[in-house]
Amino acid sequence: MNTERSDILFRPALLVFILTLLMIFSLQLLTGCVSKNIFPAEKTIHISQRDAAKAGSMALYMQGLLYENSDSNSTEQAVDAYRNALKLDPLNTNVVKALVRLLLLQQQFEQAYATLANHLTDNSCDSQIQYLASCIAGQIEQPLAAAQWASRALKNDSTNAVFARSAIIHYFGAGEDKDALRVMDHFTESLTASNALKFAVELSLAATSSDFKVSPAQAVKCGERAFKFTATEGQRYDLLRHMSWLHLEAAQTNQAIHMLEEAYDLKPDNCLPLFGLGMIYKDSPSLMRKLEKRVKRGGKKALRDQLSLGFAYHAQERLDDAVGLLESYHQQRLCNGLKLHKSFYISLGMMYEQLSDYAKLDLLLTEALRSYPDDAQLLNFSAFSWAVRSVNLDQALCYINIALRQEPENPAYIDTKGWVLHKLGRSYEALQLLLKACTLDNQEPEILDHTGDVLYAVGNEIIALDFWKTSYFLNPQPAVAEKLRALGEEPPQINSDISSK
């Protein structure tokens, strides 16, 4: 027998036996100790009233969530659960948000605002809840409270433009203009000049929104603040034109005129500000008389006044008088060696088009394209004019392709190419382009009219009728009405208020 081998096998068995004895001994000792004190003294656990309330609030909150997610309509039970949860723990933000959400869904704005206001008196550091309170206060016609809540939110998050904008607009709505401008000045101090300019201009546009009650005069105050942030001549020019519109909205005609004149003086080659002046003058006989006298008298600003009067005549539909003045302006500029802006060419070109003076129109556009050979607007104008007359169609297609390479998603340019292709007899290609143009701009009556024409040309009369009806509804043109009647359809009835717009 191999004793070494048996010894090796014996050792682990011995070790297990010894460990087993030790475990039994330990258990006996433990059992003895426990048996001496089988019934220990009862211990009391102390829970504070605050912790108990929190625990109860949490249980009710969970119950409210269960009600919300149940198959049955248990919204009211959920609201009751959240209300009771808030009674136990008024500082529980989650419960507040849940309750307010349900109240807003039920359009109980007053109760939602009261819930938030009560909560925020003790817990005023949550800027998002403060902003929510501002929004609801605005909804229930409490602009001052809305402004104050937005201001508190802005203090907690001083770089938040949404909070700042809300505070300013609601202060204006409450008639607290000084507070509105104070918030605006303080907020824009932290912005770069370009961002401050953008913020001020966007804020001035709030007067056009039905969501906010900002008067045109208050919008002007915002716009005036923007001037100190202009860094370039171009920025000041754009702001002057914007401000002229705001002054007109505020019935401040003299200031509007001043802004447009200053804009023109900054860029005397650009006639767009004078086009705006013409629109102002045409409605005021006294201003027209003064302008006509200045044009006869001549002087330092003679060219400016002449062009302004020309645009005013155009606005009054005195086309021959308008063209005469613009042609005179054209000659004087060329004689003085001054370049004409593309906007002038387009304005005079449109007048020639209205007068059907196509010989002068073609000469003018040829001259314009010598000065601006790659200008997309002028290329489109020429191409469309030729397409309407069915002349120079190959050149028109070349021109509009150049324009589209610059602005491939411009619906007006796509429409022009479609119309050129249609006149070239490529109506199916044209239709694809015109349908794309309609997708990009479904409110342009001329594009809809063209699409109807091409649909009719390829034999789809039923859909063509729909496009013509929509075009007529947006802009009731006699030519479109004739197309509808030719197919036995009466033009749709147009509300006088809609058509006047």
Burial pattern 192-225, b for ≥16 Cβ within 10 A else e, equals eeeebbebbbebbbbbeeeebbbbbbbbbbbbeb
d(CA 205, CA 308): 27
Residue with tokens 């929104």: 209
Buried b (16+ CB within 10 A) or exposed e, 451-482: bbbbbbeeeeeeebbebbbbbbbbebbeebbe
- Written as one letter, the residue type at 496 is S
**CA-based angle 164:169:172, to the nearest 5?**
130
pLDDT at res. 13: 46
Distance CA 110, CA 113 (A): 5
Distance CA 48, CA 269 (A): 80
> Rounded to an integer, what distance in angstroms lies between the CA atom of residue 283 and that of residue 92?
62
Q: Tens-digit pLDDT profile for the chain (501 aa)?
A: 444 444 444 444 443 444 344 444 444 433 444 444 444 555 555 677 777 777 887 888 888 788 778 767 678 888 888 888 878 888 788 888 888 888 888 888 888 888 888 877 755 678 888 888 898 998 898 999 999 999 999 998 999 999 999 999 999 999 999 999 999 999 999 899 999 999 999 998 876 666 667 889 999 999 999 999 999 999 999 999 999 999 999 999 999 999 999 999 998 888 889 999 999 999 999 999 999 999 999 887 888 899 999 999 999 999 999 999 999 999 988 888 888 889 999 999 999 999 999 999 999 999 999 999 999 999 999 999 999 999 999 999 999 999 999 999 999 999 999 999 999 999 999 999 999 999 999 999 999 999 999 999 999 999 999 999 999 999 999 999 999 999 999 998 876 444 443
How far from 275 is each of 223, 245, 347, CA to CA, in Å? 22, 13, 9
Residue type, 131: Y
The torsion angle over the Cα atoms of residues 459, 460, 465 and 468, rounded to 10 degrees, is: -80
Largest interatomic CA distance in the chain = 142
Q: What is the pLDDT of residue 127?
A: 87
Please say whether the beta carbons of 311 and 322 come within 8 A.
yes
pLDDT at position 335 is 86
Token pair 């359009």 in the structure block, residue: 107
User: CA neighbours within 13 Å on the CB side: how many for 130?
Assistant: 24
Q: Which residues have C-beta within 8 Å of that of residue 480, sequence separation ≥ 6?
A: 445, 449, 468, 471, 472, 491
The residue type at 89: D
Place of tokens 């201003």: 287
CA–chain centroid gap for 36, Å, is: 81
321: its two tokens: 């008088």
What is the distance between the alpha carbons of residues 330 and 363, in angstroms, rounded to a whole number? Answer: 13
* CA 226 – CA 218 distance, rounded (Å): 13
How many residues comprise the chain? 501
pTM of the model: 0.71
For residue 126, how many other CB atoms are within 10 A of its CB?
Answer: 17
Architecture of domain 268-373: Alpha Horseshoe (1.25)
Q: How far apart are CA 262 and CA 142, in angstroms?
A: 40
**Domains of the chain, residue spans:** 268-373
Amino acid at 92: N
Find, among 380, 364, 459, the residue nearest to 414 by Cα.
380
DSSP 70: S
Q: Whole-angstrom Cα distance, residue 214 to residue 118?
A: 29
Q: Residue with structure tokens 């005609």? A: 253
Quote the CA–CA distance of 124 and 120 in Å, as a whole number.
Answer: 5
